[in-house]
Amino acid sequence: MDFDLSEQEKMIQRAAREFAQRAVLPQAMEIDRSGQFPLQLALEMGGMGYYGLPYPSEYGGSGAGYVAYSLVVEQLCQASMTAGAIVAVSALSEESLFRFGNERQKREFLVPLTTGQVFGCFCFTEPGTGSDPKAVTTRAKPVGNEYVVEGQKNFIAVSPVASVATVFAKDETARISAFIVPTAVTGFVLREPCETLGLRGLGTSVIYLDGVRIPQDNMLGAKGSGFEIMLEAISVERIGVAAQGVGVAQAALDLSIDYAKQRCAYSRPIAEMPTIQWLISEMAARIEAGRWLAYRTAFLRNKGESVRHTSSVAKLFCSQMAVEVTRMAMQVHGSYGTMKTMPVERMYRDAKMTELYVGVSEIQRAIIARDLLRQ
């Protein structure tokens, strides 16, 4: 593997860093406080081309690849993890359409997503299941040349502004199929928002599917291939979650270094104390390990390789790393780190979310162990 970023990737990274500092950071505290989806900011990120980074120009993207996608998410998350998560979550529907959609579906639904004209949401999780396809209760029944979808989906990010949803339901064969559902159709009902510990402003909500009718040719991929589609798409978002962990941890380290230089105790900066130096060096080492694990997984995806296993490894490590690093940042800041007026408190809450969404850490361990034991 070449550990050097390409000139294009460096340019994208620099532009994302500048955009994050200029456009995202000033809004970060208010996004967290209000819990409102930052629509204008999301549109601006579309204007920057952030939703189409991995995809070819013929489908509205820039073809910059998955490493560039990771770099952008990382930089955005140094300012606001919610901003980076919007880009990462958007990849779910885009990856599903790009890998499994037919030409009409790509032109009609993928291109508007990658160009940032509209937003999409990914509807798999239900009240009784997160990752188990057997527990899915949403049903899609064929009626004439349509499917009628009934069910409920929980914790659906970006849903308040989504124009198209990728919905997973059991078809008439009792297998999971995926369907492209315009959110404006009758019966697609957005219900109460989910008030979460972190990642506030991501628009996470409950959705009811009450007799939703869609054409049968809105089925995505082959009948019964829904779980395969979900696994493929989610492996890419796990790269994004790993990058989120790296970004928020780096921001916490930067704040800790600045604070340690300024804060004095016993007539000297606390940066001179061995205990603080230990924390800072430990934070830096863990971040660097997580960063290259995330980049390597994105690099493998650029090569066209499956990253179902490696993305679980990256997501598991980087999410744990983010929680530990932000916890250490709280220790460096002491009581000040617990204050709502300080960004470290928000980072600590946001970091915890990386261990919980897109598959909890226990699920990642099960995936990794199963793959290793199968070999």
Name the domain boundary from 187, 222, 257: 222
Residue 238 sits in the same domain as residue 369: yes
* Domain assignment present for 237: yes
Residue identified by tokens 């890419």 is 236
pLDDT tens track for 152-173: 999 999 999 999 999 999 999 9
Same domain, 101 and 60: yes
The CATH number of whichever domain residue 127 belongs to comes to 2.40.110.10
The count of structural domains within the chain is 3
| 183 and 243 belong to one structural domain | no
Instruction: List, for residues 19-73, the tens digit of each pLDDT value.
Output: 999 999 999 999 999 999 999 999 999 999 999 999 999 999 999 999 999 999 9
Shared domain check, 125 and 29? no
In order of 254, 305, 333, the CA distances from 260 in angstroms are 10, 43, 8
Structural domain of 109: 7-119
pLDDT band at 3 (very low <50, low <70, confident <90, very high): confident
CATH number of the domain bearing residue 70: 1.10.540.10
In-domain check, residue 266:
yes
Residue 2 counted as domain residue: no
Q: Is residue 1 part of a domain?
A: no
Is residue 138 one of the residues assigned to a domain?
A: yes
Please report the pLDDT score of residue 134 as a whole number.
Answer: 80
Residues 193, 241, single domain; the answer is no
> Which among 119, 144, 170 is the end of a domain?
119
CA distances from 18 to 22, 42, 94, 291 (A): 6, 16, 26, 20
211 and 240 within one domain = no
69 lies in some domain? yes
Which of 119, 154, 175 marks a domain boundary?
Answer: 119
Q: What does the pLDDT read at residue 91?
A: 97
CA–CA distance, 353 with 208 (Å, rounded to integer): 24
Same domain, 53 and 97: yes
Q: Is residue 61 part of a domain?
A: yes
CATH number of the domain that 281 lies in?
1.20.140.10
**pLDDT cut 90: percent of the chain above it:** 96
Residue 248's pLDDT band, with cuts at 50, 70 and 90, is very high
Q: Give the dihedral sign, CA 254/247/195/35.
A: positive
User: Do both 94 and 137 map to the same domain?
Assistant: no
Are 148 and 66 found together in one domain? no
Tokens in use for 162?
Answer: 């989504």
pLDDT for 132: 77
Residue 228 CA to its chain's centroid (Å): 19
- 247/361 same-domain check: yes
**Alpha-carbon gap, residue 328 to 341, rounded angstroms:** 18
Both tokens assigned to 137: 């209760």
Examine the domain organization and report whether 64 and 154 are in the same domain. no
Length of the chain: 375
Angle of helix 66-79 versus helix 81-100 axis, rounded to 10: 160
Question: Over 70: is that where the pLDDT of 218 sits?
Answer: yes
Query: pLDDT tens digits, residue range 93-151?
Result: 999 999 999 999 999 999 999 999 999 999 999 998 877 778 899 999 999 999 999 99
Answer yes or no: is pLDDT of 314 > 80: yes
Q: Distance (Å, rounded) from C-alpha 24 to C-alpha 33?
A: 14
- Answer yes or no: is 25 within a domain: yes
Q: 143 and 111 in one domain?
A: no
Given pLDDT bands bounded at 50, 70 and 90, which one contains residue 1?
low
